[in-house]
Amino acid sequence: MSYTEYKLRLTKIADISYTAALLSWDQETYMPEKGAGFRAQQIATLSALAHGQSTSAELGDILNSLNKSGNELSEKEKRNVARSLKDYTKQKKYSTEFVERLSRTASECFQAWQKAKKENNFSLFAPLLETMVDLKKQEAELLGYEAHPYNALLDQYEPGATVAALDILFKDVREQMVDFVKQIAAVPKPDDGFMYRHYPKEKQWNHGLDLLKQMHYDFEAGRQDISIHPFTTSFNALDVRVTTKILEDNLKSMIWSCIHEGGHGLYEQGLPSGEYGLPSGEAISLGIHESQSRLWENNVGRSLPYWKANYKNLQSLYPENLGKVSLEQFYRAMNRVEPSFIRIEADELTYHFHILVRYDVEKKLIGGELKVKELPEYWNACYKEYLGVNVPSDDKGVLQDIHWSHGSFGYFPTYSLGSFYAAQFFHRASLEIKGLENQIEQGNLLPLLEWLREKIHRHGKFYSAEELCTQVTGEKLNFKYFMDYAKNKYSTIYNLKKEAV
* Assigned domain for 128 exists: no
Give the residue from 64, 97, 121 where a domain finishes.
Answer: 121
Burial of residue 33 (CB within 10 Å: 0-12, 13-18, 19+) is exposed
Count, residues in the chain: 501
49/103 Cα distance (integer angstroms):
12
The distance between the two most distant Cα atoms of the chain, rounded to a whole number of Å, is 70
Q: How many domains does the chain have?
A: 2
> Residue 394: phi, psi to the nearest 5?
-65, -40
* Assigned domain for 370 exists: yes
Tens of pLDDT, residue by residue over 198-246, are: 999 999 999 999 999 999 999 999 999 998 888 999 999 999 999 999 9
235/222 Cα distance (integer angstroms):
10
98/104 Cα distance (integer angstroms):
10
Is the domain of 288 the same as that of 358?
yes
- Concerning whether 33 is annotated as a catalytic residue, the answer is no
Judge contact between 173 and 356, C-beta under 8 A: yes
345/256 Cα distance (integer angstroms):
9
Of the candidates 205, 206, 204, 267, the one whose C-alpha atom is nearest the C-alpha of residue 232 is 267
Is the domain of 115 the same as that of 168?
no
Q: What is the pLDDT of residue 381?
A: 95
* Assigned domain for 287 exists: yes
User: Where in the sequence is the domain holding 371, given as residue range(s)?
Assistant: 163-493
Residues 6+ apart with CB under 8 A from 34: none
Q: What is the pLDDT of residue 280?
A: 95
Is the domain of 117 the same as that of 176?
no
CA neighbours closer than 13 Å in the CB half-sphere of residue 488? 11
Q: Is the pLDDT of residue 425 over 90?
A: yes
Spell out the alpha helix ranges (H) of 318-367. Answer: 319-322, 327-334, 351-367
Tens of pLDDT, residue by residue over 316-360, are: 999 999 999 999 999 999 999 999 998 988 899 999 999 999 999
Segment 421-444 mean pLDDT:
98
- Counts of helices then strands in the chain (DSSP H, E): 23, 3
Q: What is the pLDDT of residue 498?
A: 56
Give the residue from 121, 151, 180 where a domain finishes.
Answer: 121
Is the domain of 356 the same as that of 408?
yes
Question: Among residues 100, 139, 158, 261, which one is catalytic?
Answer: 261
Of the candidates 209, 211, 236, the one whose C-alpha atom is nearest the C-alpha of residue 223 is 209
Q: Is the pLDDT of residue 302 over 60?
A: yes
Give a three-class secondary structure readout of 196-248. Answer: HCCCCHHHHHHHHHHHHHHCCCCCCCEEEEECCCCCEEEEECCEEEEEECCEC
11/273 Cα distance (integer angstroms):
12
Q: What is the pLDDT of residue 499?
A: 46
Tens of pLDDT, residue by residue over 98-154, are: 988 998 899 899 999 999 999 999 999 999 999 999 999 999 999 999 999 999 999
Is the domain of 376 the same as that of 269?
yes
Is the domain of 173 the same as that of 234?
yes
Q: Tell me how far apart the terminal alpha carbons of the chain are, to the nearest angstrom.
A: 61
Tens of pLDDT, residue by residue over 240-289, are: 999 999 999 999 999 999 999 999 999 999 999 999 999 999 999 999 99
* Assigned domain for 145 exists: no
Give the residue from 65, 97, 121 where a domain finishes.
Answer: 121
Is the domain of 168 the same as that of 305?
yes
Q: Is the pLDDT of residue 501 over 70?
A: no
Is the domain of 291 the same as that of 424?
yes
Is the domain of 191 the same as that of 56?
no
Q: How far is CA 391 from CA 35, 202, 334, 346, 397, in A?
A: 34, 31, 23, 14, 6
Average pLDDT, the chain: 94
* Assigned domain for 343 exists: yes
Q: How far is CA 137 from CA 143, 361, 428, in A?
A: 10, 14, 40
More confident: 11 or 36: 11
* Assigned domain for 149 exists: no
Segment 456-482 mean pLDDT:
95
Tens of pLDDT, residue by residue over 143-190, are: 999 999 999 999 999 998 999 999 999 999 988 998 899 899 899 999
* Assigned domain for 402 exists: yes
Segment 50-75 mean pLDDT:
90
Q: What is the pLDDT of residue 33?
A: 85
* Assigned domain for 143 exists: no
20-27, long-range: CB within 8 Å, 24+ apart, which pairs?
Answer: 20/46, 20/47, 20/50, 21/233, 21/234, 21/235, 22/235, 24/233, 25/233, 25/241, 27/107, 27/110
492/81 Cα distance (integer angstroms):
50
Q: Is the pLDDT of residue 94 over 90?
A: no
294/348 Cα distance (integer angstroms):
9
Q: What is the pLDDT of residue 107?
A: 86
280/6 Cα distance (integer angstroms):
13
Assign 40 a pLDDT band (cuts: 50, 70, 90): confident
172/423 Cα distance (integer angstroms):
15
Is the domain of 116 the same as that of 167?
no
Tens of pLDDT, residue by residue over 383-406, are: 998 888 999 999 999 999 989 998
Is the domain of 114 the same as that of 176?
no
* CATH number for the domain that contains residue 425: 1.10.1370.30
Q: Is the pLDDT of residue 70 over 80?
A: no
How many CB atoms are closer than 10 A to CB 470?
14
Prediction pTM value: 0.89
DSSP 151-163: HHHHHHHSTT--H
